[in-house]
Structures are given as structure tokens and as C-alpha cells.
Structure 1
């Protein structure tokens, strides 16, 4: 005898055959074995799809994967919202920090209270533009890192939601990261160095810098490489990791440093007055007043050379204008020295004529042999000629300079 089916059992237990078909089907599903139930966990989505379509496979698929898909979509939506929020917060913080640093720097560069700023309005506008550009660059770099981290975490969480074991994936990523770290150390060093260069504002596009191997105008700065163009037009691509020190020759302001040499018999006070007069006259002209930011200063005697005394003059100039100012001042000081009779020194030599070691058979007249007296010569030695042969002379390279 065959056992009764679960459906017949449900119908037998019902009070009347006129009960709703839905209740019957529901009871039948509960009476079925677990292996034949498409919704073993009593999922609301699975049961609803099963009620609407009466398709167990579709109900089981949607009941299992639809919640996971919704969770993944919510994770990615949260990542997008966090990324946008992180960009705004980072941009606002970096801009505020750059503004405060810029205001402090402007306060430092100003002269005494009541005096005008050491920078012209055009320079201030250029500095403000550079501040904005620097803030945008820093914000872009930091935001990119933050967004990358947020989305990476979102991807890992989404993979875990769909049932994938992310443990081996994390371990593999760690191994790959270690391998890349060992294999691309120079590349990582370039990126880290470039990041700190941008964050610290060591230099920017348009600055004239000395990075050791090359000196020139910065044309581009990236996280990996800095591109320079030197005075001959050669373009240098310098990896940021190879830059161990940077000399910025045109940040905020520059200094025209001039070492002016005069002869030893020159009146130094008078020469200093002439130098100061020429420098002040140049600084007061409309053409050069925009280039020279502060009154020139004569610092005094810098050194004693073999043939000259060196006086040092300095002038604070606009960024990268020191070479132009130097060339014009040298031209003017040459004319001023010529007009005032101040001698610009040149290499000189003193020759001593002695009677020691002169052969008696040389037939040199006594009048041609000095008795230990010095005769200053010009820029080269002078030889006394005898009746038969030249008299050898002793050149004193470091003797007393003559006039």
C-alpha cells in the first residue's frame, strides 16, 4: 500500500476543501522535505518570487543573490559619497593651510612697519596664483590617495559580501606589493620625493633651480620627474628620487651680488661713493625701479686679491632678475670708473734684476745690472739686452704688485 502524499495529508487535515489554494500550497511547501524546498531559510524575497512566479529555481536565485547585489550597490554608493566628501574636506583644509602659510610668509618678507611691502603688486599676484596652484596640486594628490584607499576598501568589502574569501586575495596582494617594492625601489623613491617636494613647495613651474646635475627653469613637476631647461636650451629630465638637494634661485625675491675690484692704490672711500651713487641712480630710474625692490647696500671690502681690492654691493631684486640687473650695473660702473679715473685692475708683475749668478764673460755693461733695485714692469717680463746675448731674468709671480 502506497503512503499518502503530503498534499493529501494537508487536504485531509483541512476542515473543508473550499479553503484557499494559497493556504494549501503553503502547507504543502512546509510539509515537503528540506531538499525539495527552494526557500529553506524562509527568505522573504524567495517566498515572494515563488508565490508570484511559482518558479523554484528563479526564486532560489533571486532570494540568494538579490540581497547581495543590493548590499554591493549600497557599499559602492557609500564609497562614492565618502570619496566626494573626502575631496571637499581635503581641499578646504589644504586651501586654509596654504593661505595661513602664505600670510605668514608675506609678513616675514615685509620690511619695517610703515614701509611698503618688499614685493610689487604684480609679484604679489604671481605669488597668490602660485599659492592657489600649489593648494590645488596638493589637494589633488592627497585626494587621489584618499579616494584610492576608500574604493579599495569598498571592493574588498563587496567581494566578501558575495561570498568570496578575501584572505588569500589580501595575502597575494601583500606578496605582489612586496615584490613591487623590491623591484621598483627607485620608482617608489621618485614618487615619495615628488610628493614631499609638492607638499613643501620647494619649487614650482617657472622657478630657476639648481638640482646638482642641472640648473635651469622648471618647465614641469610631476610626482616622478622634474623637467628643466638650462640656459643653452637643453631639456633635463631629473627623477625626483635623484634630487638630494635643491637651490631655488627665484623664490619670492632674489639678490644681485656684485664683487667690484679696484686697484690697490685706489681711494676706497671714493670708490665706494661712486659705486653707491651709480647703484642708487639706477634703482631710482623708472625702468629699473620695478626690478630693484630695496635700496642698494655697499657691504664694504670683501677680500684682498693678488692684484685688486674687492668691494661687495648687494641689491634685492625681483625673482630671477638679478642677472639682468648685474649686467646693466657692470656697464654703468665701467663708464663711471672711466669718468672718475678709477683704475680697474689687471694682472701685473714685478721683475727684479740682480747681479747674482751673472757670468763675467757675458760682457754685460755694469750700467745694465741693477744693484738690488726693483723695477715694476707691465703685464709681462722685460729683458735687458747686452751686446752678445739676452740676460735671463727671474719672474716673480707673487711679488709686490705695481701700478
Structure 2
């Protein structure tokens, strides 16, 4: 960077009002130059900093206002469905607002710094060229880091997942605890915390976005009436849906999709219930318990594995060891008898 010569006549610069006024009032070149160094430039730098602070405050206020409006806009829903959706909208709006405020702060700070450097009398052209070269070199040297940041930005904007969601990211699955621009932190069912780089995530399975579905396969014996089984499953699920505890967790009437599989063990009948996010597992556990109790009350047989032992019964008047020895002797070959 090349500084402007000190002996430039600042009073001849039409943009330097302070230096021109001091030179006009005093007629002294030195005082005019000193006023430019110790008064005009610091005052200009202070004004630039104040403008930058005000611009940042104004942009942050606008971003917060837009995010607050987007997060509090009511969504139509029934049976408690709107509450989790609105909560998710609020969390997403907060994340986007934080990201936008960080970006705006970085941009404003960069502009203010460049303007201060120019105000000090340095040529910012070479500085911009050097910054471009350094940025290009960093881009090649830190491609994985740039990839992580870019992927994180798209994940936040596209709302692929958020804090509290249960996701399957391929390398790990569990509850999302934190989402940053570089990594995503999740905790699995065993309590293990996984740190997954955003750039390494190639697929996202979100099991808690907007709504979920509890799918249950119930085995019944071949001798049971399938129509009776279907009616029983519907009746049990409907009674559960009417309970106060489960009313807000089951969003739509239960469905029995019918026979899903036929095997040697029995017939699999599938039931599906649309639930609130993250409630599918609790719903399916409760439904299994209720269905088993109702099947037992109605006498509907649920098949299970049986173990059958085959063997020769003991002879009359012979104990177990003698019977076993006699059976071995009966199966002996002529060579064994010799």
C-alpha cells in the first residue's frame, strides 16, 4: 500500500473542508496540514464508525422485526397440530435471523474498514487485489471448510432439520442438539453425542418434521377372522384417540391398511396412525399394549414360537437311565455288539 505524500496541499482539496477553513482563517500551511492530520481524519474515521454502527443497528432491527413476524404468524391447525408447527417456524426464523445478522455485520465491518484505510490516505486498490488473491488461495486450501459452511447455510435456509428433530444423517441418527454453519451435533438413543460435518451429509431423513406416522404390524393366527381383527384394531385405536392424553398427539383417524405379510408364523395386519412430530413411538407403544389386552379379552390368538421335543418314552418298570441305555443298545450295529 502506498501512502499519499505528506507535502500535498490539503487546502487545495475541495473535499477537505476542515483543512481549507483552517488555511483560510490562519493562512498557515503547517496549521492547515496539522488540522488535517489530527482533526479532519480522526473526525472522518469517527463518523464512518458511527455510520457503520447505526447501519448495523438498523439492519439488525429490520431483521429481528421480519423474523419475529414470520415466527409468530399463526398457522391453521386442529387438535393441537398448530402448536408444534408454529414453534418450529419460530425456531427457524430465529436461526435465519442470527445468520443474516452475522452476514450483515461482517459486510458492514469490511466496508467500514476499507473506507477508513482510504481515509488514511492509502490506496485500497492493491489491498483489494491482495485480498482477492488471499481469498482464492484460502478457497483452494480449505475446500472442505468452505464446503461445510456452504452446506450449513443451505441446511438452515431450506429448513432440512432443526434443534429437537429426530434425524437420520447416515453416519448417525438421533436428536439434533445444535446446528452451526460447520457441524451438526446429535445425540443417539444410547446417549452418545455425534459431531457430523455439514459437508459430509449427503442425505437427511427427518422423522419429526410437521407430522409423523406410527406404523404397527400385529400378527394373528391363521384361524382368526380378519374382518373381526380389523374392526377390533379400529375400535381400540379410536378409543385411544378419544382419550384426553392422546387427543392432541393423534392428528387423524386411525387406518387399518390390511394384511401386510403372510408367513409360517401367522398373518401380519398393518395399522397406521398419523401423529404429532416425535410422538409416533409413544403412540405405537401404547397402542400395542391396548391391542394385546383387547385380543386377550376377545380370545383372538396371537401366534408365538413353540418348541416341541420328540423322544422315546421310558418302558414300564425301567427308570430313565436304564431306558436310555436300552435304547442305545437297540440301535447298536452287529460290529458294535462284538
**Fold match, TM over 0.5?**
yes
User: Structure 1 residues 267, 40: closer, same or farther in 2, change over 3 A?
Assistant: closer
In 2, the alpha carbon distance for the partners of 1:154 and 1:268 equals 75
Q: In structure 2, what is the Cα distance between the partners aligned to 1:334 and 1:278?
A: 10
Contact 1:38 1:57 in 2 (8 A): no
State the Cα distance separating 1:312 from its structure 2 match: 0.9
- Correspondent of 1:200 among 151, 154, 158: 158
- Within the candidate set 173, 189, 194, 2:147 is matched to 189
Distance in 2, Cα, partners of 1:265 & 1:389:
41
Match of 1:260 in 2: 218
SS in structure 2 at match of 1:312: strand
1:200-253 Cα distance to aligned partner (Å, 9 max, x none): 222222221111121211222222221111111111111222222222222232
Q: Does 1:73 align with 2:52?
A: no
Unmatched tracts of structure 1, length 5 or more: 1-35, 111-116, 348-377, 391-403
Higher mean C-alpha displacement, 207-216 vs 62-71: 62-71
The 2-side partners of 1:40 and 1:298 are apart by 89
Larger radius of gyration: 1
Assess, with a 3 A threshold, how the Cα gap between structure 1 residues 242 and 380 changes in structure 2: closer, same or farther. Answer: farther
2:168 is matched with: 210
Distance 2:260 2:292 in 1: 19
Pairwise mapping of residues 132-171 of structure 1 onto structure 2 (< 5 A)? 132-171=90-129
Alignment of 1:4-403 (within 5 A): 41=12, 44-48=20-24, 50=26, 57-63=30-36, 66-96=39-69, 106-107=75-76, 110=77, 117=78, 119-120=79-80, 124-347=82-305, 379=307, 382=310, 388-389=330-331
**By how many angstroms is 1:88 displaced?**
2.9
Q: Which moved more, 1:129-138 or 1:58-67?
A: 58-67
Relative to the length of structure 1, the TM-score reads: 0.67
Question: Residues 20 and 32 of structure 2 are in contact (CA less than 8 Å); yes or no, is this contact kept in structure 1?
Answer: no
- CA distance in 2: counterparts of 1:290 and 1:97, whole angstroms: 24
Alpha-carbon distance in structure 1 between the residues aligned to 2:330 and 2:31: 127
Question: What is the SS of the residue equivalent to 1:190?
Answer: helix
- After TM superposition, give the deviation of residue 95 of structure 1 in Å: 4.5
Check 1:85–1:288 CA distance in 2 against 1; reply closer, same or farther (3 A cut): closer
Give 1:149 shift. 1.3
Distance, in Å, in 2 between the alignment partners of 1:275 and 1:214 is: 34
Secondary structure of the equivalent of 1:257?
Answer: strand
CA distance 1:343–1:129, shift in 2 (3 Å) = closer
Provide structure 2 residue ranges, at least 5 long, that are not aligned to the other structure.
Answer: 1-6, 14-18, 314-326, 333-338
Q: Residue 322 of structure 2 corresponds to which residue in structure 1?
A: none
Paired residues, number: 307
Report which stretch shifted further, 148-157 or 42-51.
Answer: 42-51
**Is the contact between residue 161 and residue 167 of structure 2 (CA under 8 Å) also seen in structure 1?**
yes
CA shift, 1:333, in A, is 1.8
Q: Which has the higher contact order (CA 8 A, sep 6+)?
A: 2
Relative to structure 1, the CA distance from residue 379 to residue 185 in structure 2 (aligned partners, 3 Å threshold; closer, same or farther) is same
Deviation string 1:8-57 (CA, Å, 9 cap, x unpaired) is: xxxxxxxxxxxxxxxxxxxxxxxxxxxx9988749524425745xx6x53
TM-score calculated relative to the size of structure 2: 0.79
Q: Secondary structure at the match of 1:329?
A: helix
Judging changes above 3 Å, is the alpha-carbon distance between structure 1 residues 63 and 248 closer, same or farther for their aligned structure 2 residues? closer
| Contact 2:215–2:270, Cα closer than 8 Å, also in 1 | yes
Q: Is the contact made by 2:184 and 2:197 (CA closer than 8 Å) also made in structure 1?
A: yes
User: What displacement does 1:141 show?
Assistant: 0.9
Compared CA separation, residues 137 and 38, structure 1 to 2 (3 A)? closer
